[in-house]
Amino acid sequence: MKDRDGRKVSVYALNYGLCNRHSIEFGRPEGKREFRLYFIERIFDFSHIIRRYLEDNQEIMCENCEAVFDIDKLESLKFYKMACPNCGEGICRVANLSKKYAKMLEEISDELLLPGTELGILETLYVENRDLAAADIAEELDCSYQLVGKRGKIMEERGLVSRRMDRSRRKFGITERAVESYFAGNEARKLNVGPSESE
């Protein structure tokens, strides 16, 4: 349909079954027309998010010279039958980055793959850089301390965390093996917020 600016837009809706399960009202509200067309307001325009996803997960590459072009050049390339503007000889193809990195992903050891909760436990211990009780980790991950305790025991067996008693509380710490396997040399995980005001 068209938005307030007269542009054609796609409207995405939540799954009806999901809405039913979580008691979310599904469908257009009844009553006046302006109440039924709220979803075409500019505030609900998330096209830029979809565009960013496509830009991050697809690339246009020439088969001949391997030049890479932004996804916004796709329409121009289509106009010239996908001929490469860089070398003039090759044909450009849109490639999904998941296929490009599929071989690299296949080479990752299954032993290093952890469920989200266990990765969260490691991340919390790494960031805090000190031993923490299950309740402290659970608060950070928004889960129960029992879950952290259960997963922590399994992770200790795998050599990823250490467990020790501190007075009446059991505390968890991250091991060197876990730091080397999941955090060492991984600069991409750090948030780049630019230089601080003091610099």
Summarised one tens digit per residue, pLDDT across range 84-134 is 988 888 899 887 766 666 666 566 665 556 788 888 899 899 988 899 999
Token digits for 120?
């969260």
pLDDT above 70 (res 71) = yes
Predicted TM-score (pTM) of the model is: 0.43
Mapped onto helix, strand or coil, the DSSP state of residue 170 is strand
Q: How many residues does the chain have?
A: 199
**pLDDT at residue 102, as a whole number:** 62
Of 143, 146, 149, the C-alpha closest to 163 is: 149
| 33 or 86, higher pLDDT | 86
Burial class (CB in 10 A: 0-12, 13-18, 19+), 66: exposed
Query: By the 8 A CB rule, do 91 and 63 touch?
Result: yes
pLDDT above 90 (res 173) = yes
CA distance 126 to 183: 8
pLDDT (tens digit per residue) in 79-92: 888 899 888 888 99
Q: Give the pLDDT mean for 157-179.
A: 90
Dihedral sign of CA atoms 14, 15, 21, 24 in order:
positive
| Residue whose tokens read 């072009």 | 69
Give me the helix-helix angle, 134-141 and 145-157, nearest 10°.
110
| 141 or 65, higher pLDDT | 65
Domains of the chain: 1-45 (no CATH), 56-103 (3.30.40), 110-182 (1.10.10.10)
Measured from the Cβ of residue 188, the count of other Cβ atoms closer than 10 Å reads: 6
pLDDT tier for residue 33 given thresholds of 50, 70 and 90: low
Which DSSP symbol is given to 145? H
**pLDDT at residue 191, as a whole number:** 44
Of 122, 141, 110, the C-alpha closest to 183 is: 122
| 161 or 25, higher pLDDT | 161
Q: Give the pLDDT mean for 67-77.
A: 83
**pLDDT at residue 148, as a whole number:** 92
**pLDDT at residue 161, as a whole number:** 93
Residues 6+ apart with CB under 8 A from 154: 118
pLDDT (tens digit per residue) in 42-62: 666 666 676 677 667 777 889
